Chains A and B, each alone.
Chain A
Amino acid sequence: MIDEETLAQMNGKYVCPPDAGPAWRAAMEAGIDMSLIEENLRRSPWERLLANESALKLIRELQKVKPA
């Protein structure tokens, strides 16, 4: 049986870390998806740059697709 909180998280509820400071909370309240920043911070700085290139490559591929 999945509890209500876990289900909410499965459905996208972000749990702010208890030690999050005011800037972290302010960014969260401004609507920034802090879970993506947490994911990014798990990468090395170099991996973060490579992830940018992968995203850019995807954008370029999508730009090539003609509208149906």
Chain B
Amino acid sequence: MENLTEILKRLHYAKVEFVLIGGLASRHYGVTLVTEDVDVCARFTPENLRRIEAALKDFHPQHRLTANKLPLELTDELCRSLKNIYLTTDLGILDCLSEVAGVGNFDEVLKKSELKNFPFGQCYVLGIGALIDAKKTVGRPHDLIAVSQLMAIKEKKEQQKELFD
């Protein structure tokens, strides 16, 4: 059974540099759509990728899009070549992206993110405006439903700031 918040917690404890994006970030802001995975934008340096590997090592991470579900076993060469990592784990699906369409690379994503409080500590979450831009860029039907909700929530956020702190 998935435990998506546990994935977040593990990444945090392993000191992975990441920003929460995608459906779970949308949920954080109040979108009602259910999401089945954790999407993060991470810094794709060998050190940070090794932290991701360490965070998930007890949960059988596998490259979920490879034909034989290859296990996550990073090498120096892989660390240099990977642009994204799409994983299935015992805790659920985790997609790590080096950049976000409509926003930019990790540094640009980080600039447009906000540090948010979670029970286990603080994590960066992509700001609601940038999240709207990203979802508009991807533009799948469910992204556009999320955009519609996010725009309404953003408007309310500007009226009632306490709902979002």
Q: How many residues of A contact B (CB 8 A)?
A: 29
Q: How many residues of B contact A (CB 8 A)?
A: 30
Contact status B32-A40, CB under 8 Å: yes
Bound Cα distance A64, B96 (Å)? 29
Contact status B149-A37, CB under 8 Å: yes
B158's closest neighbor in chain A, by CB?
A: A21
- The digit string for B1-43, where 1 denotes a CB below 8 A from any CB of A, is 1111100000000000000000010011111101110000000
> Which residues of the partner chain B approach A40 to less than 8 Å between Cβ atoms?
30-32
Contact status B148-A30, CB under 8 Å: yes
- The digit string for A19-62, where 1 denotes a CB below 8 A from any CB of B, is 10111101110101110110011000110111111011101100
Give the B-binding residues of A (Cβ under 8 A): 19, 21-24, 26-28, 30, 32-34, 36-37, 40-41, 45-46, 48-53, 55-57, 59-60
22 pairs, CB–CB < 8 Å, chain A vs chain B: A24-B155, A27-B149, A27-B152, A30-B148, A32-B148, A32-B149, A34-B152, A37-B153, A40-B30, A41-B30, A45-B28, A48-B27, A48-B28, A48-B29, A49-B4, A49-B28, A50-B5, A51-B27, A52-B27, A56-B35, A57-B2, A60-B1
